[in-house]
Amino acid sequence: MTATMAPLVDIVIEDPRWSDLDLEPLADRAAGAALAVLGMPADGFEISLLACDDARIAVLNADFRGKAQATNVLSWPSEERGAEEPGGAPRTPEGGTPDDPEELGDIAIAWDTCAREAEAAGTPMADHVTHLLIHATLHLLGYDHVTDPDAELMEGLEVRAMAALGLANPYA
C-alpha cells in the first residue's frame, strides 16, 4: 500500500469561482515552491487558505489591518519569524513531520481583485494566483517588503520560486 502525502495547503473555498481554477494543486505547488527555494521540505508544514471574494477579504482587511477595502491576498503567520535587521533572513521554522506538520499560518485570497489584476497585467489568472500564494507563503515565513533591503530579498525569492515553476518574473 502506498501512502499519500497530505496536502501542504488546507483550503476552504467560500467563492465557487475558485473551483474553476483547480486551486488545490495550484496552491500546493505555489507554497511548495516558496518552501523549496529556501531548502525547506513541504511535507513538514501546513498552511490554511481561505479562497473568498472581495466582500469577505474587505471585512478581514478592515478587522486585521484597519483598511476597509478589498485586497488581493492577506496572510497571518502562526508566529513572528521576522528578521532582526532589514534585509536579513527571518528565523527558519523547524518543521514537523508528515503526520504532524508545523502550522505556518493562514492566507486569504480574493477572486475579484486577483481576476482584475491578472486581466490588467495580461497575465493568466493561474500564474498571478501562483505568484500571490508564493508571496503570501513567504510572509508566513517572516519575509516582508517594508524596507528596500527586505523587498529586494523577498522579491528575489519570489522570482526564483516562479522560475522553478517555469513561470515569468512577475516584476519584469
Residue 169 lies in a domain: no
Task: Find out whether 45 and 95 touch, Cβ atoms under 8 Å.
Answer: yes
Could you list the residue range(s) of the whole structural domain that residue 49 is in?
Answer: 9-80+95-164
**How many C-beta atoms lie closer than 10 Å to residue 162's C-beta?**
23
pLDDT digits (tens, 9 = 90+) for 2-49: 444 567 999 999 999 999 999 999 999 999 999 999 999 999 999 999
pLDDT digits (tens, 9 = 90+) for 51-102: 999 999 999 999 999 999 999 999 999 999 999 899 999 999 999 999 999 9
Provide the total of helices (H) and of strands (E) in the chain, helices listed first.
5, 4
Residue 88 lies in a domain: no
Structural domain total, the chain? 1
Q: What is the pLDDT of residue 7?
A: 76
Q: What is the pLDDT of residue 48?
A: 98
For residue 1, pLDDT beyond 50: no
DSSP 147: S
